[in-house]
Amino acid sequence: MSKLYAIGELLIDFTPSEPNASLATVEQFTKNAGGAPANVAAACAKLEQQAAIITQVGQDAFGDFLIETLNKVAVDTNYIAQTVEGETSLAFVSLTGDGSRDFLFYRRHAADLLYNKEQLPPNLLTDQDILHFCSVNLVESPMKHAHMALIEQAHQAGSLVSFDPNVRLPLWHDEMACRQTILAFLPEAHIVKLSEEELLFLTAIEDEETAVHSLFQGKVQVLIITCGAKGARLYTKKLHVKVPADKVQAIDTTGAGDAFIGALLAILLSKQITATNLKDFCEQHAAPLLTFANGYAGASTEKHGAIASYLTKQEFPFKDNLRDLA
């Protein structure tokens, strides 16, 4: 059976118990499981697809909590290592009135960054699987080199590779290093998801179509640009499809982008889409794919947190416009 393997950070999101307050003024926080790759795996698992996370947490109470949380939503946690050499990463988040966020990270001795390529399971991936990664763990570290090794394993196995940079500039020493690293990894992916802001950050090109087509390099077949409440757009070299988002009462956008790509990858898993037929499938079904991913992400913003806000397949079924896909 097709399976998603996400590699990267697994951390604690401390989200405020009160909206529209700065980190300096918030008095109470709620503990939630987070980390973009873990969120994507959880979204796939909640939509009844096989998903695993490859990472490392501290041998501490927060690490135990994260593993327990992912087990509860049926994410495969067999590839989560625990270490006493580092600590489970923490992120404190503040929310404004419209659900947007500000972050403060505690990860100077992050356990996830200490994960090294020798810890990777050999021959893990097949041509039926999807490997998904982000950019937070691409800072210079053993984990960066683990990413490189696993991506190479994916290419050798014929796996589909997905990349959502999910840029978090406070975690980088400078913007140039972040941009250059992302641009170096981007051609290794078959499908790439970017926000409008990330597209401009990476390309410095104002015109979206020109910017997008400048990124069709290496193995890239499909580029998706998410625009928040305005919807999303899917590009191949010969196709451009735009789908608006439904109006929602957003209270917390934490993990919404992860919900979007997780929902889309869940569809690809359910149809056993591979690197060889990805482009044709996305060109044929671009509108319903975007509609489903938009709807799933939008629904996640109506609750607090990331994983806790993701709906199950029973709560958010593959709807009428996806009957031919599911």
pLDDT, tens only, 67-112: 999 999 999 999 999 999 999 999 887 766 555 567 788 888 899 9
CA 4 to chain centre: 12
Instruction: Look up tokens 């957003």; give the residue.
Output: 250
**Annotation: CATH topology of 3-312:** UDP-N-acetylmuramoyl-L-alanine:D-glutamate ligase (3.40.1190)
In contact, 251 and 304? CB cutoff 8 Å: yes
7 has which bridge partners? 54, 133
Residue 141 neighbours by CB distance under 10 Å: 16
**Residue 204: Cβ-neighbour burial (10 angstroms; 0-12, 13-18, 19+):** exposed
**Residue pLDDT, tens place only, 187-223:** 999 999 999 999 999 999 999 999 999 999 999 999 9
CA 141 to chain centre: 20
Please tell me the distance from the alpha carbon of residue 307 to that of residue 326, in angstroms, as a whole number: 22
**Residue pLDDT, tens place only, 109-149:** 899 999 999 999 999 999 999 999 999 999 999 999 999 99
Q: Pick the closest to residue 92 from 268, 254, 212, 278 (CA basis).
A: 254
- Which structure tokens are listed for 14? 């401390």
Give pTM, 2 decimals: 0.93
Please tell me the distance from the alpha carbon of residue 226 to that of residue 274, in angstroms, as a whole number: 23
Q: What region does 11 belong to: left with phi over 0, alpha with psi -120 to 50, or beta?
A: beta
User: In the Cβ-directed half-sphere of 4, how many Cα atoms lie within 13 Å?
Assistant: 34
Q: Taking the domains of the chain in order of start, what are their residue ranges?
A: 3-312
Q: Pick the closest to residue 193 from 33, 30, 325, 39 (CA basis).
A: 39
